[in-house]
Amino acid sequence: MIDGCPPRVPLEVEEIQAELDRRRPGQSHLTTPRQEEDCAQILSGVFEGQTLGTPILIWVQNKDARPSAYDQLKDVYRPSHADFTYEAKYGIRNWQGGGRASARETVGRVAAGAIARKILRLAGFGEIVGFVSQVHSVECKLDAMQVTREMVEASITRCPDTEAADEIVRRIDDARGRGDSLGGIVTCVVHDPLVGIGEPVFDKLEAELAKGLLSLPACKGFEIGSGFSGVKMTGIEHNDAFYEEDGRVRTRTNLSGGIQGGITNGEAIVLRAAFKPTATIRLEQETLTTDKKPTTLEASGRHDPCVLPRAVPMVESMVALVLCDQLMRQRAMRISDDFNDRSS
Amino acid sequence: MIDGCPPRVPLEVEEIQAELDRRRPGQSHLTTPRQEEDCAQILSGVFEGQTLGTPILIWVQNKDARPSAYDQLKDVYRPSHADFTYEAKYGIRNWQGGGRASARETVGRVAAGAIARKILRLAGFGEIVGFVSQVHSVECKLDAMQVTREMVEASITRCPDTEAADEIVRRIDDARGRGDSLGGIVTCVVHDPLVGIGEPVFDKLEAELAKGLLSLPACKGFEIGSGFSGVKMTGIEHNDAFYEEDGRVRTRTNLSGGIQGGITNGEAIVLRAAFKPTATIRLEQETLTTDKKPTTLEASGRHDPCVLPRAVPMVESMVALVLCDQLMRQRAMRISDDFNDRSS
Amino acid sequence: MIDGCPPRVPLEVEEIQAELDRRRPGQSHLTTPRQEEDCAQILSGVFEGQTLGTPILIWVQNKDARPSAYDQLKDVYRPSHADFTYEAKYGIRNWQGGGRASARETVGRVAAGAIARKILRLAGFGEIVGFVSQVHSVECKLDAMQVTREMVEASITRCPDTEAADEIVRRIDDARGRGDSLGGIVTCVVHDPLVGIGEPVFDKLEAELAKGLLSLPACKGFEIGSGFSGVKMTGIEHNDAFYEEDGRVRTRTNLSGGIQGGITNGEAIVLRAAFKPTATIRLEQETLTTDKKPTTLEASGRHDPCVLPRAVPMVESMVALVLCDQLMRQRAMRISDDFNDRSS
Amino acid sequence: MIDGCPPRVPLEVEEIQAELDRRRPGQSHLTTPRQEEDCAQILSGVFEGQTLGTPILIWVQNKDARPSAYDQLKDVYRPSHADFTYEAKYGIRNWQGGGRASARETVGRVAAGAIARKILRLAGFGEIVGFVSQVHSVECKLDAMQVTREMVEASITRCPDTEAADEIVRRIDDARGRGDSLGGIVTCVVHDPLVGIGEPVFDKLEAELAKGLLSLPACKGFEIGSGFSGVKMTGIEHNDAFYEEDGRVRTRTNLSGGIQGGITNGEAIVLRAAFKPTATIRLEQETLTTDKKPTTLEASGRHDPCVLPRAVPMVESMVALVLCDQLMRQRAMRISDDFNDRSS
C-alpha cells in the first residue's frame, strides 16, 4: 500500500513487474530455489495509465508459500534471526515463515521503489545504478561512476566486473554446497541528482538514506561518499574544491558523495551498504528452544546462500523512495517560489 | 525545545550541564579556542526537580559569537561546507556563522541527550559509553566492551588507549600547526539494554540509530555490530549462537551488535560512526564566489582541527535519544501487557 | 491496512464482521439497495486468535460494484460531491464510483474501529454507544446517558426513541419517494473512560475527536459536551463542580463532556456530529459538465436517502480509533510509572 | 518555535506584533486587567527581512507574571479547569499559573499565525476575517460575507454589528461585576481561497480545521458551512448548484462552506467555533482539594470575563496555520505539475 504518491504519474504495471523480477527468488541458480513468481496487480490508485494521487494497492500473491516447511522452527530460535527478538518484543510470533522479519517483505519496497524511480526520472534525476561491489573478499575493481545498468544486469551476480563476477559465482556455489552463506556490499550511484534535496538538520539526506538502507534485512553498515575510508584523509585531501562548469557549480572531487550539509550539491550521490551473510544456513548450529533448552539446528528450507544479487534492486528502491520523499518535501518548502521573483 | 519527554523524571540542570561541558568548545587545547561556556538554563517543563510532561525549553546562550569573523565568507562557498547547498535549497543563506549547518546546533542534541540518558538509566538500561576509537590512522586497541566512561574522560582525546591517545594528541597538534584537519571514528556501546526495543520494519532500531548518527555534522558512515567487516565472514562464522545463562537468553558472540531483526536482544548494542576531517581549514583552497567566479579561500576563524573528542557526547546523545524514543514506542505497543496475563 | 495495533489482543474475524454488518448497505429498506455483503477476511497480523503487533490486512471485497452505473457521471460534476474538487486537486479523477470520496471507504474505518473497541474494552473503558439523535427536524427525546446499544439496535433507524424512530422511518421513506435526501445528528457516549487520556496542547482529545469525525463523509459539525448550546450559559452555570465519590473525583454536571484541558476526567465523553443530507439525489439539479457547460443532472444509482442509521458505527469507530491512539500515547508518556514509585 | 516555514518569505517583526496586540490581555476594559505587553522578538530563522527556511524562534516574555497570585490554587482543583486532569495524566502539575493549560500558550499560535497569513496572502488567498458572532444570547445580525476586518476592529468586542456590540459590552460588564463569565461564537471567513487545498481522506481540510479550533482553550464546538443547521434541510435544498462565471466553476449557494470532499472548491471557507464561558470566576464554587476533601473556591486573580474578543485572532491564526500546512502538502503532491504538461 503506497500512500502519498503524486497524481498524474504515467504508470504501467509492467514497470513495477520489471523491478520485481530483479528481486524475485529463483531468478538464477545463485538464489533460493523457491519459485515465487511475484506477479504484481494494481488494485487501486491508478486509472487509465496514470496515478490518481490516492493510495495505490499493489497485490503480489505468494503462490509458493509452504508453511509446513517451517514446522521445525516452531519451538526453536534460529541464530541471528528475529525469532527470539520478535517473541521478546511482541510476546507472540508467527513461526510459519518469518512473517514481517522475512526478506519477503522487501517485495513491497521494490514495487514502491519502481514508482519512485519513475517520478525521479520524470523530475530530472539521472539513473540510479546499484551493483554488487563485493562478495566475501571478492571486490569489484570498476569505477562506480562508469557502471551502467546494462553492465549490472549482464551477470546473474549483478557484479559488473566480469572477472570478479566469475569468482563470486564460484564462491556462492561453494558456500551453498557446504550449507554455508556469504555477505557482501552493494554500491549505489544516483547520477545527476537535482540540487537542493535534503531536509536538515534531523532529516538530512544522508540520514534518511542511512535509515532506509539499514531498515533492509541483513544490512549492517552504510557509507556516503568517502565513508570510513575518509577518516584516514586530512581536510585538504578530503575537501571537494568548487569550480564552475557550463554555468553550474561543480566539485573537482566527490568525497562528499554528492551531499553537503545534508543537501544534494548536484554531484552524483554515491553510497555503499554492507550485508551480512544470510542467517539461515544448513550447517549445524548451537541454539535454544523457546523454553530455553539447549538444542542444535540444521535449517532445511530453501534459502539464498548469498542475498547480494537480489539486494541490488532493494537498495536502489530504498534510495529512490527516500529521494522521492525528500523531493516532495523540498517542493513543499519552495512554495515561495510560486509567488516570489527569483533573483538568485 | 524538547517535546514528548515523560513526566516525573527527576532532573537537575547540573545533569544537563555536565554533558554540555563535554561537548563545549575550548575544553582543551585540542579543540577550537572559541570560549563558549554553554551555560544551560531550564526555562520550562521542569517543576520542583521533576519533569512535567510538557515541553522543556533549555536556554544556552552563545556569549562568544563573533558575526564579523564571518565577513570573509559572505560571498564565497567554503569547500565541503553547506554554504552552496543551503543557498541552492533555500535561495537564501545566513552567512554569519553557518546557521543551522554549524556544529553549534549539536548543543541542543546533547542537552536533550542528557535527559534521554537519565530516562534510560531509570528504565534499566546500562551505561552508554562512547569513545574515540580512531583518529586518522591511529587506532584504539582496546576491547570496546572493556572501556568505561572513566577511561574515556581520562584523556582530552576521549581515546581510552593511552598510547594511541598520546599519538592522537601529536597528530592533532601537527594538523593544527599546518592549518589542516583530521577525521576519525567514534565507537559507542550501550551496555545491558532492555530486550525488545525497536520498531520493524521501517523503524528498525539500527535504522533509527543510523539516521540519528548520520544526521550529525561531518558523519559519513555507520556500522552496527560486525558492520563492513562482517562481509568477509561466512554465515557459520557470523551467526550468534544462543545459549541460556541465569534464565536469560544470551548469545556466544555479538556480531549482531545487540540487534536482531531490528529489535534489541539484550546483548550490548555496539556501533561505530565515521567522521570526516573538519571542512574548515586554514590551508589555501580552490573555490567559487557566490556569483560563480573562481577564487581561493584560506579560512581564518577559530575551528577544531579534529572534532572527534567533542563528537563523543554527540554520538552518545543521539544513541540515547533514539533509544528513548523507541522505548516509549515499545511501551505504547505493549499496552496489552496492562490487561493480558503474561504467560511467557 | 491497520498498522500500530498492539500485540496479543484476542481477535476473531467475527468481531470485525459484526461491526461491518451494522455499516453494510442493504441492511434495511431505509438504506441503499446495493447488496454489498462486506464479508471480512483477515489476511495478515493475526495468528492463532491473537494480534501479532504487525500490520493487519483486512480484505473486504465489493461483489456488487457496477462501474457502468457511473457512466453518466463521467463528464459532469455532481453538486456538493467531490467530483470537481478531486479533479481540481489531482488533475485527474476516477469517475467510476467516487473512488476515495465514496462513503464506501468507511468500511476500513469500521473494521479498524472494531479492533480499537476491543482494545478499549480490555483496557477498562466502558461501552461506546452511538445513536441517531436527530433526522431532519425529528429529535430523540431520551437522555443520552440512558441509551444502550440494545435500544439502538432495536430500530432500523438506530434512533432509540421509538416514537421518534417511527417518524424518522416515515420521513426517510418520503424523501426517497421524492428522490430527495435527509441529514441528521449522531450522538455518541463513551461510558467510564480511563482518566488522563489526551495529548495537549495541539492533540487535545476533543481536537482529535473533532478531526476524526469531520473526516467522515458528509460530517459538517462537531460538539463536545455543551457544545454550541454552552454559549448561552454563564460560567457559574457551566462549570462542573467537583465532588468525591467512592474515592474518585467526580463532577456534579458534565457540561465538559468528560474532557477538561484536552484530557479525560473520567466522566462520560459525550459528543455530537452533524451530517448533511446525502448529496446524491434523483431530483433534477443545475450543474456543469467537466468542460464548464451548463447542464442538469438527475442522478440514478442506488443511494441512501439518509446516511444516519449507517453513520452510527462510523462515528463509534472513529471515536474508538482516536481513543485507542491516545491511550497508547498516554502509556508511552507514562513510561516513568514503570520506574518511579507513585506517591500520589 | 516554528519549524517548516518556507524560505524567502518577507517578514518584519511588526507583522507579528500587530497580531499579538489583538490577542494581548489588557487591550480594553473588557479583558483581563493583566498587563502583558507581549512584545515579540525574532531570535532565529529570519535574515535581512526574509525567512531562511530554518526554524524561527519568537521570544515573547511575560513581564507581568505573578506566580504568588496562584498560591491559593496549589491544593485545589478549579472546576472545569485542567488542574485535576493534568495531575491525573502526568502525576505532577505546575500550579503556578496553569502552565500549558493556560490560554497564555495561544501567544505562540498567534505569532505563528501571523506568518501563515502572510504566506497565504502571497500565495493568492484572500483575507481571513474572523469576528464575534455571538456572546451569550446576543447575536450579530450581519451577513458573514460582508464583514471586513475594519468593521471587526472598530469595536472592542470584535463584533461588527454595532447594536449587538453595545449589548455585548453591557453583558460582559455585568458578568464581570457579578464575578461570572460568558461564552460565545466566533465566525471566520476565508475569502477567495485557492482551489484544491485539503488532503483526504483522513486529513480533509474540514477535519484539520476542526482539530485546529478544538485545540484552542475553551472551544467546545465547530461547524463548517451549514453545520448543525444543515440537518434540517433536504438534499435539494442543501446541494450547492454549480455554474460557470468568468471561466471559473462557482456554486450558487455555499452551504458546503467552501469545502467538498475535504478539498476547497474556491468558494469562501466559512466556519464557526463555540467557546464556553471562562472557567475561572469569582463566584463561590463547590470543588475538591487535591486530597479529595470538599472545599469551596472563589477565584481571585485577573481573568477575562469573556474571551471572545481575544479569541478572534486565535481562530484566524489556527485557520491560517492549517491552510498553510495544507497548501504546502498540496504543492508537494503536485510535484508532477513540474514535469507534466497540463492538459485540463
Backbone angles phi, psi at A56, to 5 degrees: -105, 120
- Could you give the C-alpha distances from D292 to C98, C243, D84, D93, D98, in angstroms and in order? 55, 8, 10, 16, 20
Model confidence at D64, pLDDT cuts 50, 70, 90, reads confident
Question: Is the pLDDT confidence value at B32 over 90?
Answer: no
pLDDT digits (tens, 9 = 90+) for B131-165: 999 999 999 999 999 999 999 999 999 999 999 99
Contact C249 D80 (CB under 8 A): no
Contact A89 C53 (CB under 8 A): yes
* Grid cell at residue B291: 556569483
CB D215 within 8 A of CB C262: yes
Residue whose grid cell is 520494519: B201
CB D134 within 8 A of CB D140: yes
Q: Residues of C with CB below 8 A from D297's CB?
A: none
Cβ neighbours of C340 (radius 10 Å):
17
- What is the distance between the alpha carbons of residues A173 and B66, in angstroms, rounded to a whole number? 63
- What is the distance between the alpha carbons of residues C137 and A59, in angstroms, rounded to a whole number? 47
* Grid cell at residue C258: 468528560
- What is the distance between the alpha carbons of residues C291 and C314, in angstroms, rounded to a whole number? 36
Q: By C-alpha distance, which of B95, B113, B206, B188 is closest to B149?
A: B188
Model confidence at B344, pLDDT cuts 50, 70, 90, reads very low
* Grid cell at residue D197: 487545498
Of residues D251 and D28, more confidence is placed in: D251
- What is the pLDDT of chain C when averaged over all its residues? 94
pLDDT number for residue C183: 98
- What is the distance between the alpha carbons of residues A1 and A109, in angstroms, rounded to a whole number? 10
Q: Residues of D with CB below 8 A from B8's CB?
A: 90-92
Beta strands D57-60; D40-44: pairing state: antiparallel
Q: Residues of C with CB below 8 A from A89's CB?
A: 7, 53
* Grid cell at residue A220: 549492517
Residue whose grid cell is 464581570: D176
Model confidence at C301, pLDDT cuts 50, 70, 90, reads low
Model confidence at C96, pLDDT cuts 50, 70, 90, reads confident
pLDDT digits (tens, 9 = 90+) for B189-235: 999 999 999 999 999 999 999 999 999 999 999 999 999 999 999 99
pLDDT number for residue B75: 93
Question: Is the pLDDT confidence value at B99 over 90?
Answer: no
Q: Burial of B126 by CB count in 10 Å (0-12 exposed, 13-18 middle, 19+ buried)?
A: middle
pLDDT number for residue D343: 39
pLDDT number for residue C64: 73
- What is the distance between the alpha carbons of residues D112 and D108, in angstroms, rounded to a whole number? 6
Q: At what angle do helices B13-23 and B106-123 cross, to 10 degrees?
A: 130
Q: Which of B46, B333, B341 to mutate to test the interface with C (most CBs of C within 10 A)?
A: B333
Least confident interval from B268-277, C61-70, D144-153, D326-335: C61-70
Half-sphere exposure of A52 (CA within 13 A, CB side): 24
pTM, rounded to two decimals: 0.97
pLDDT number for residue B73: 83
The rounded percent of chain B whose pLDDT value lies above 70 is 97
Backbone angles phi, psi at D297, to 5 degrees: -135, 130
Mean pLDDT of D218-233: 98
pLDDT number for residue A5: 97
* Chain D residues within 8 Å of chain A (Cβ atoms): 4, 6-9, 53-54, 119, 122-124, 200, 327-329, 331-340
How far is C-alpha C305 from the geometric centre of its chain's CA atoms?
18
- What is the distance between the alpha carbons of residues D208 and D198, in angstroms, rounded to a whole number? 9
- Helix (H) or strand (E) run with residue D232 in it: none
CB C325 within 8 A of CB C110: no
The beta-carbon neighbor of B1 closest among D1, D89, D94 is: D1
Q: Which residues of A298-316 are buried (b: 16+ CB within 10 A; e: fewer)?
A: ebebebbbbbbbbbbbbbb
CB A291 within 8 A of CB A77: no
- What is the distance between the alpha carbons of residues B190 and D245, in angstroms, rounded to a whole number? 67
The beta-carbon neighbor of D90 closest among B1, B53, B89 is: B53
Half-sphere exposure of A318 (CA within 13 A, CB side): 31
DSSP H helices in chain A = 13-23, 83-90, 106-123, 149-153, 162-178, 205-214, 235-238, 308-333
pLDDT digits (tens, 9 = 90+) for B270-306: 999 999 999 999 999 999 999 999 999 998 766 789 9
Residue whose grid cell is 511588526: D14
pLDDT number for residue D185: 98
CB C198 within 8 A of CB C256: no
pLDDT digits (tens, 9 = 90+) for C244-269: 999 999 999 999 999 999 999 999 99
Model confidence at B341, pLDDT cuts 50, 70, 90, reads low
- Side chain identity at residue A262, one-letter code: G
Bridge partners for A131 per DSSP: A187
Mean pLDDT of B229-243: 98
pLDDT number for residue A279: 95
- What is the pLDDT of chain B when averaged over all its residues? 94
Question: Is the pLDDT confidence value at B343 over 50?
Answer: no
pLDDT digits (tens, 9 = 90+) for C140-195: 999 999 999 999 999 999 999 999 999 999 999 999 999 999 999 999 999 999 99
Q: Is the ipTM above a cut-off of 0.95?
A: yes
pLDDT digits (tens, 9 = 90+) for D280-317: 999 999 999 999 999 999 987 667 899 999 999 999 99
- Helix (H) or strand (E) run with residue C8 in it: none
CB D117 within 8 A of CB D316: yes
Nearest chain A residue to B102, by CA: A261
pLDDT number for residue C341: 57
Backbone angles phi, psi at B251, to 5 degrees: -120, 145
3-state DSSP assignment of residue B260: strand
* Grid cell at residue C313: 458505527
Q: Burial of B343 by CB count in 10 Å (0-12 exposed, 13-18 middle, 19+ buried)?
A: exposed
Question: Is the pLDDT confidence value at D65 over 80?
Answer: no
Contact D79 C239 (CB under 8 A): yes
End-to-end CA distance of chain B: 40
Q: By C-alpha distance, which of A237, A242, A211 is closest to A226?
A: A237
pLDDT number for residue C98: 64
* Grid cell at residue A131: 551493483
Model confidence at D344, pLDDT cuts 50, 70, 90, reads very low
* Grid cell at residue C51: 494480534
CB A52 within 8 A of CB C101: no
Contact D90 B7 (CB under 8 A): yes
Q: Which residues of C299-325 are buried (b: 16+ CB within 10 A; e: fewer)?
A: beeebbbbbbbbbbbbbbbbbbbbbbb
Q: C285 to chain D nearest CA, in Å?
A: 7
pLDDT number for residue B248: 97
pLDDT number for residue D69: 73
Q: How many A-C residue pairs are in contact by the CB < 8 A criterion?
A: 49
Residue partners of C108: CB distance under 8 A and separation at least 6: C58, C60
| Percent helix, percent strand, percent coil in chain A, to nearest 5 | 35, 20, 40
- What is the distance between the alpha carbons of residues A151 and A162, in angstroms, rounded to a whole number? 9
Q: C251 to chain D nearest CA, in Å?
A: 9
**Neighbors of chain D by Cβ distance (3+ pairs < 8 Å):** A, B, C
* Grid cell at residue B46: 521542569
Question: Is the pLDDT confidence value at C40 over 50?
Answer: yes
pLDDT number for residue B130: 98
Domain boundaries A76-90+125-343, corresponding CATH code: 3.60.150.10
* Grid cell at residue C161: 426513541
CB D175 within 8 A of CB D29: no
Contact B334 C7 (CB under 8 A): yes
Contact D340 A124 (CB under 8 A): no
- What is the distance between the alpha carbons of residues C100 and A153, in angstroms, rounded to a whole number? 39
Q: Residues of C with CB below 8 A from A92's CB?
A: 7-8, 47, 50-53
pLDDT number for residue A342: 41
Q: Which residues of C89-110 are buried (b: 16+ CB within 10 A; e: fewer)?
A: bbbbbbbbbbbbbebbbbbebb
Q: B1 to chain D nearest CA, in Å?
A: 8
Which residue ranges in chain A fall short of pLDDT 50?
342-344
Backbone angles phi, psi at B98, to 5 degrees: 95, -20
Bridge partners for A271 per DSSP: A188, A224
Which DSSP symbol is given to B251? E
* Chain C residues within 8 Å of chain B (Cβ atoms): 4, 6-9, 53-54, 119, 122-124, 200, 327-329, 331-340
Contact D8 B91 (CB under 8 A): yes
Contact B7 D91 (CB under 8 A): yes
Contact D52 B99 (CB under 8 A): yes
Q: How many B-C residue pairs are in contact by the CB < 8 A criterion?
A: 66
CB C93 within 8 A of CB C99: yes
pLDDT number for residue A68: 75
Model confidence at B100, pLDDT cuts 50, 70, 90, reads confident
pLDDT digits (tens, 9 = 90+) for B115-136: 999 999 999 999 999 999 999 9
Model confidence at B41, pLDDT cuts 50, 70, 90, reads very high
* Chain D residues within 8 Å of chain B (Cβ atoms): 1, 7-8, 47, 50-55, 89-94, 99-100
Half-sphere exposure of C172 (CA within 13 A, CB side): 27
Question: Is the pLDDT confidence value at C63 over 90?
Answer: no
Cβ neighbours of B74 (radius 10 Å):
12
Question: Is the pLDDT confidence value at D257 over 70?
Answer: yes
Hey, CA dihedral for B115, B117, B122, B123, is it positive or negative? positive
**Neighbors of chain C by Cβ distance (3+ pairs < 8 Å):** A, B, D
CB A339 within 8 A of CB D124: yes
Mean pLDDT of C295-315: 91
Contact C122 B336 (CB under 8 A): yes
**Neighbors of chain A by Cβ distance (3+ pairs < 8 Å):** B, C, D
Mean pLDDT of B243-250: 98
pLDDT number for residue A260: 98
pLDDT number for residue A4: 95
